[in-house]
Protein backbone atom coordinates (compact mmCIF):
# COMPACT_ATOMS: atom_id res chain seq x y z
CA UNK A 1 0.00 0.00 0.00
CA UNK A 2 1.21 3.53 -0.80
CA UNK A 3 2.38 5.37 2.33
CA UNK A 4 -0.14 8.21 2.06
CA UNK A 5 -3.01 5.74 1.59
CA UNK A 6 -1.81 3.86 4.65
CA UNK A 7 -1.75 7.10 6.60
CA UNK A 8 -5.29 7.95 5.48
CA UNK A 9 -6.54 4.50 6.47
CA UNK A 10 -4.86 4.78 9.85
CA UNK A 11 -6.22 8.29 10.42
CA UNK A 12 -9.74 7.16 9.51
CA UNK A 13 -9.55 4.23 11.90
CA UNK A 14 -8.28 6.53 14.62
CA UNK A 15 -11.09 9.01 13.92
CA UNK A 16 -13.68 6.24 14.18
CA UNK A 17 -12.16 5.05 17.43
CA UNK A 18 -12.35 8.58 18.86
CA UNK A 19 -16.00 8.93 17.82
CA UNK A 20 -16.79 5.52 19.31
CA UNK A 21 -15.10 6.46 22.59
CA UNK A 22 -16.98 9.74 22.77
CA UNK A 23 -20.37 8.20 22.24
CA UNK A 24 -19.52 5.46 24.73
CA UNK A 25 -18.63 8.14 27.29
CA UNK A 26 -21.93 9.91 26.58
CA UNK A 27 -23.94 6.69 26.92
CA UNK A 28 -22.05 5.96 30.11
CA UNK A 29 -22.87 9.39 31.50
CA UNK A 30 -26.52 9.14 30.46
CA UNK A 31 -26.75 5.80 32.29
CA UNK A 32 -25.03 7.31 35.32
CA UNK A 33 -27.48 10.24 35.34
CA UNK A 34 -30.39 7.82 35.27
CA UNK A 35 -28.87 5.87 38.15
CA UNK A 36 -28.42 9.09 40.13
CA UNK A 37 -31.99 10.21 39.43
CA UNK A 38 -33.26 6.86 40.67
CA UNK A 39 -31.02 6.62 43.72
CA UNK A 40 -30.62 10.22 44.83
CA UNK A 41 -33.32 12.19 43.01
CA UNK A 42 -35.95 11.79 45.72
CA UNK A 43 -33.75 13.80 48.07
CA UNK A 44 -31.40 15.77 45.80
CA UNK A 45 -31.73 18.06 42.79
CA UNK A 46 -28.72 18.12 40.44
CA UNK A 47 -29.15 21.07 38.15
CA UNK A 48 -27.85 24.59 38.74
CA UNK A 49 -30.51 26.86 40.18
CA UNK A 50 -32.74 24.05 41.45
CA UNK A 51 -33.57 24.24 45.13
CA UNK A 52 -33.09 21.89 48.03
CA UNK A 53 -35.21 18.81 48.62
CA UNK A 54 -34.74 16.67 51.70
CA UNK A 55 -31.02 17.07 50.89
CA UNK A 56 -29.03 19.94 49.34
CA UNK A 57 -28.67 20.54 45.60
CA UNK A 58 -25.66 18.60 44.29
CA UNK A 59 -24.73 20.84 41.34
CA UNK A 60 -20.95 21.39 41.58
CA UNK A 61 -20.71 19.29 44.77
CA UNK A 62 -17.27 17.98 43.83
CA UNK A 63 -15.88 21.46 43.40
CA UNK A 64 -16.95 22.82 46.76
CA UNK A 65 -16.45 22.56 50.47
CA UNK A 66 -18.84 20.15 52.22
CA UNK A 67 -21.90 21.63 53.85
CA UNK A 68 -21.93 24.96 52.05
CA UNK A 69 -25.22 25.00 50.12
CA UNK A 70 -26.83 28.22 51.24
CA UNK A 71 -30.19 27.86 52.89
CA UNK A 72 -29.76 24.16 53.67
CA UNK A 73 -29.78 23.21 57.37
CA UNK A 74 -27.14 20.49 57.69
CA UNK A 75 -27.32 18.17 60.70
CA UNK A 76 -24.93 18.66 63.63
CA UNK A 77 -23.30 15.30 62.89
CA UNK A 78 -22.63 16.34 59.31
CA UNK A 79 -21.18 19.71 60.30
CA UNK A 80 -18.97 18.25 63.01
CA UNK A 81 -17.44 15.63 60.74
CA UNK A 82 -17.27 17.44 57.42
CA UNK A 83 -17.07 21.19 57.98
CA UNK A 84 -14.19 22.64 55.98
CA UNK A 85 -13.49 19.46 54.00
CA UNK A 86 -13.45 19.44 50.22
CA UNK A 87 -15.55 16.87 48.48
CA UNK A 88 -13.45 14.70 46.20
CA UNK A 89 -13.94 11.29 44.62
CA UNK A 90 -12.34 9.40 47.55
CA UNK A 91 -14.42 11.12 50.23
CA UNK A 92 -17.56 10.76 48.16
CA UNK A 93 -16.86 7.07 47.70
CA UNK A 94 -16.66 6.60 51.48
CA UNK A 95 -19.76 8.77 51.93
CA UNK A 96 -21.88 6.75 49.51
CA UNK A 97 -20.66 3.47 51.00
CA UNK A 98 -21.83 4.48 54.47
CA UNK A 99 -22.62 8.10 55.37
CA UNK A 100 -22.85 7.22 59.09
CA UNK A 101 -19.24 6.05 59.17
CA UNK A 102 -18.09 9.36 57.67
CA UNK A 103 -20.39 11.63 59.69
CA UNK A 104 -22.00 9.90 62.67
CA UNK A 105 -25.46 11.35 63.17
CA UNK A 106 -25.94 12.48 59.58
CA UNK A 107 -29.53 12.33 58.40
CA UNK A 108 -28.71 11.04 54.90
CA UNK A 109 -30.25 7.59 54.83
CA UNK A 110 -28.60 5.85 51.91
CA UNK A 111 -25.92 3.21 51.42
CA UNK A 112 -24.41 1.77 48.27
CA UNK A 113 -22.21 -1.30 48.57
CA UNK A 114 -21.77 -1.83 44.81
CA UNK A 115 -18.41 -0.32 43.87
CA UNK A 116 -19.35 0.07 40.19
CA UNK A 117 -22.55 1.91 41.00
CA UNK A 118 -20.63 4.22 43.32
CA UNK A 119 -18.06 4.86 40.56
CA UNK A 120 -20.84 5.70 38.08
CA UNK A 121 -22.53 8.03 40.60
CA UNK A 122 -19.21 9.78 41.24
CA UNK A 123 -18.54 10.18 37.49
CA UNK A 124 -21.96 11.75 37.15
CA UNK A 125 -21.43 14.16 40.06
CA UNK A 126 -18.02 15.09 38.61
CA UNK A 127 -19.77 16.10 35.39
CA UNK A 128 -21.98 18.62 37.22
CA UNK A 129 -19.91 21.77 36.86
C1 LIG B 1 -33.31 9.72 51.74
C2 LIG B 1 -32.78 10.97 51.24
C3 LIG B 1 -31.40 10.94 50.56
C4 LIG B 1 -30.95 10.11 49.56
C5 LIG B 1 -31.69 8.96 48.89
C6 LIG B 1 -29.62 10.57 49.23
N7 LIG B 1 -29.29 11.64 50.02
FE8 LIG B 1 -27.53 12.70 49.95
N9 LIG B 1 -28.13 13.84 51.51
C10 LIG B 1 -29.37 13.75 52.13
C11 LIG B 1 -29.41 14.66 53.25
C12 LIG B 1 -30.59 14.88 54.17
C13 LIG B 1 -28.16 15.30 53.29
C14 LIG B 1 -27.64 16.27 54.36
C15 LIG B 1 -27.06 15.39 55.44
C16 LIG B 1 -26.95 16.00 56.83
O17 LIG B 1 -27.17 17.22 56.99
O18 LIG B 1 -26.66 15.20 57.75
C19 LIG B 1 -27.38 14.77 52.17
C20 LIG B 1 -26.08 15.18 51.83
C21 LIG B 1 -25.39 14.75 50.71
C22 LIG B 1 -24.12 15.28 50.28
C23 LIG B 1 -23.35 16.42 50.93
C24 LIG B 1 -23.63 17.69 50.11
C25 LIG B 1 -22.99 18.95 50.60
O26 LIG B 1 -23.59 20.02 50.38
O27 LIG B 1 -21.89 18.93 51.18
C28 LIG B 1 -23.76 14.58 49.17
C29 LIG B 1 -22.50 14.76 48.34
C30 LIG B 1 -24.82 13.63 48.90
N31 LIG B 1 -25.79 13.77 49.86
C32 LIG B 1 -24.82 12.76 47.83
C33 LIG B 1 -25.84 11.85 47.58
C34 LIG B 1 -25.86 10.97 46.44
C35 LIG B 1 -24.82 10.94 45.33
C36 LIG B 1 -26.98 10.19 46.57
C37 LIG B 1 -27.45 9.07 45.68
C38 LIG B 1 -26.50 8.04 45.39
C39 LIG B 1 -27.66 10.60 47.78
N40 LIG B 1 -26.95 11.59 48.36
C41 LIG B 1 -28.83 10.03 48.24
C42 LIG B 1 -30.41 12.92 51.77
C43 LIG B 1 -30.35 11.89 50.84
Q: How far apart are CA 33 and CA 122, in angstroms?
A: 10
Asked if residue 53 has its Cβ within 6 Å of ligand 1, the reply is no
Q: How many angstroms does the Cα of residue 50 sit away from the middle of ligand 1?
A: 15
- Residues 31-43 have pLDDT tens digits of 999 999 999 999 9
- Residues 44-63 have pLDDT tens digits of 999 999 999 999 999 999 99
Looking at residues 10-37, what average pLDDT do you find? 79
Q: Among 115, 116, 110, 106, which Cα is nearest to 75's?
A: 106
Half-sphere exposure of 69 (CA within 13 A, CB side): 24
Half-sphere exposure of 82 (CA within 13 A, CB side): 26
Asked if residue 46 has its Cβ within 6 Å of ligand 1, the reply is no
> What is the model's pLDDT at position 32?
95
Which residue's C-alpha comes closest to atom 39 of ligand 1?
40
Asked if residue 59 has its Cβ within 6 Å of ligand 1, the reply is no
Amino acid sequence: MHASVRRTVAATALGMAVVATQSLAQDDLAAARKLALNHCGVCHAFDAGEGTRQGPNLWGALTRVAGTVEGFAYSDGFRKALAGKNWDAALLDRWLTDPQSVAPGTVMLYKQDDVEKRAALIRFLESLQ
